Amino acid sequence: MMTEVCVNAPAKINIGLHVLPGRVNGFHTIESIFQTVTLFDTLVVRASEKKGCIVECEDMKLPSDNTILSSYNAFRSVTGMDDFGVHVVLEKRIPSGGGLGGGSSDAAACIRAFEVLNKITLSVRQLEDIASKIGSDVFFFLLCGAEGCAVVTGRGEIVKPIHARDDLFMLLVFPGVHSSTREAYALFDEGFAAGKIVPCPDYADLETVYKTPASSWNFANSFTPFLVSRFPEIGFALDDLRREGALFVEMSGSGSTVYGVFASEADAESARSALALRWKGILAVRPFHCR
């Protein structure tokens, strides 16, 4: 019987993020393309004879209600495996509060590890039930398939996998500020009420636009102008990427990470070298998929 599984949990970026006005229930509908990239957390998940979930992480202090514990509780709830115990060691590389989905990806990676340890394969319905108990981005990481790319809408629970591009050379810049999702939505709601609207492509056109040259993309992130006003560093990072020749720049998720898409690996590396003089947190990445 397998007693230990090592899994990588990839970060994601949002290629465009259209946030619609809040519903009566307080939630917002989003429209976005989610793309996994080559930045990973690593988790070693060990079966334990002791009931419960122990999480270790030397890289950062995790909250008591972290997504790994939430994934364990959701897995037990959906499968009925009450006596299942695990010990998880997390090596954290994806920054918290960066809009890269690190916590959600960790949760999804744990669910896959739990499947292996228990020799079961969860149905799509079970995966959806589990994701609904953890967080909206978890749907994508569990349902995007081998491509690691999908058009996402609803609260994040409607995931349509699409073919991932191989010709995107990207730089991530971490501006050094922490943006909370709650604050981002509050700023968006305030701005929307004041008539400030960010033009975004129609949902039906997202996949078509994604397939066009990055230099012609009209994707936008509804949060960006409001977060730039709150954290000028985000705007500075976007401007620096443009100056270094990025074909397209935008913020991922609710921030604060920004990214630029370059024409070639050489162009991305040249920009990385130049920007490293100003930004401590900068990383070259490519789209990640499992095909």
> Which positions are annotated as active-site residues?
12, 137
Which helix (H) or strand (E) covers residue 83, if one does? none
DSSP bridge partners of 258: 173, 251
Q: How far apart are CA 159 and CA 46, in angstroms?
A: 30
- Report the C-alpha gap between 134 and 131 in whole angstroms: 5
CA atoms of 149 and 33, how far apart (whole Å): 7
CA-based nearest residue to 255, from 275, 281, 284, 226: 226
Asked if 127 and 111 touch (Cβ cutoff 8 Å), the reply is yes
Whole-number Å distance between alpha carbons of 233 and 220: 18
Which helix (H) or strand (E) segment holds residue 269: the answer is helix 265-275
C-alpha to C-alpha distance for 116 and 150, rounded to whole angstroms: 25
Q: How far apart are CA 201 and CA 214, in angstroms?
A: 14
Q: What angle do CA 88, 124, 97 make, to 5 degrees?
A: 45
